[in-house]
Amino acid sequence: MSCTDSNVNVAASATATAAAPAPALPPSAAAAPAARAFSLPRINEPAPAFHAKTTFGDRSLEDYRGKWLVLFSHPADFTPVCTTEFTAFAKASADFAAINCELLGLSIDSIYSHLAWVENIKHRFGVEIPFPIIEDLSMDVARAYGMIHPGASDISAVRATFIIDPNGTLRAMVYYPMTNGRSVAEILRLVRGLQTSLANGVATPEGWQPGDKVLVGAPKTVKELNARLQEGLETTDWYFSMKSLG
C-alpha cells in the first residue's frame, strides 16, 4: 500500500470519528435548571412595587401612597401561631390607624382559604380581621420582598414584616422564624419611633416609647464638638446626648 493510500485511510477514519454523534449524557449528568436568585429589599430604598388580589379587592403599593404601611407575611392560614398574630394585629388596628398606618397581610394561600380563615377567627375567637390579606399563589410579592427562605420552606413565607413610609420607601424590615410569633406591640412601637426620627432628625434609644427622651446625633466637626456642651442637652459625654421633644 502506498503512502498516499495510507493517508487517505487515516483521513477517512478521522472524518468518521468526528462525524460520529457524542454519546448522550445520563439524566443525572444533565445540567440542572438554574436556581431562582434570592434577593432582599433594602432599607431606605423604594419598596418593591406590587399589584395583588386581596380579601378587600385588588391592592397595589401605590394605593398606600401618603400613608405608612405595615406589610407582613405569615406561613399559612389555619395555623396556631399565625392565628395569634392576626388576632393581635386586629386588636391593635385602631392604634395603627391613629398614626396613619395601614396593615396588609400576605401568605401563599388562595383567597378562598383567606376568607374561610377570617370567618373561622371571627366565629371561634370573636375577632374580626379589619385589614386585607394578599393571595400570593404565584409567590411574586413574596419573592420580591425576600419572604421565601429555602432553609425554612420553598413554598411558605417566613414571618417577615416591612414598614414602608408614605413615599413608598422601605424604612424597616424584621424576620422571624415560623416557630415564633411576632410582638405586635413592638411593631407599633417601631412605626412610632420611625415617624419620630424622620420628623425630628433624631434617634430613639432601646425600648423608647412616645414621650421618652430621644438621642441627638454625635458631633461631626471640632466646631460642633466645642458647641455641644452649650446646646442645653442632657450630655453624658461628647458622643451621647439626649433631649425631650416637648
Dist CA 61 CA 140 (whole Å): 14
Catalytic site residue from 81, 82, 157, 190: 82
Active site residue 101: no
Give yes or no for a contact between 82 and 75, defined as CB atoms under 8 angstroms apart.
Answer: yes
The radius of gyration computed from the CA coordinates of the chain, to the nearest angstrom, equals: 29
Give yes or no for a contact between 196 and 169, defined as CB atoms under 8 angstroms apart.
Answer: no
HEC per residue, the chain: CCHHHHHHHHHHHHHHHHHCCCCCCCHHHCCCCCCCCCCCCCCCCECCCCEEEEECEEEEHHHHCCCEEEEEECCCCCCHHHHHHHHHHHHHHHHHHHCCEEEEEEECCCHHHHHHHHHHHHHHHCCCCCCCEEECCCCHHHHHCCCCCCCCCCCCCCEEEEEECCCCEEEEEEEECCCCCCCHHHHHHHHHHHHHHHHHCCECCCCCCCCCCEEECCCCCHHHHHHHCCCCCEEEECCEEEECCC
Active site residues: 82
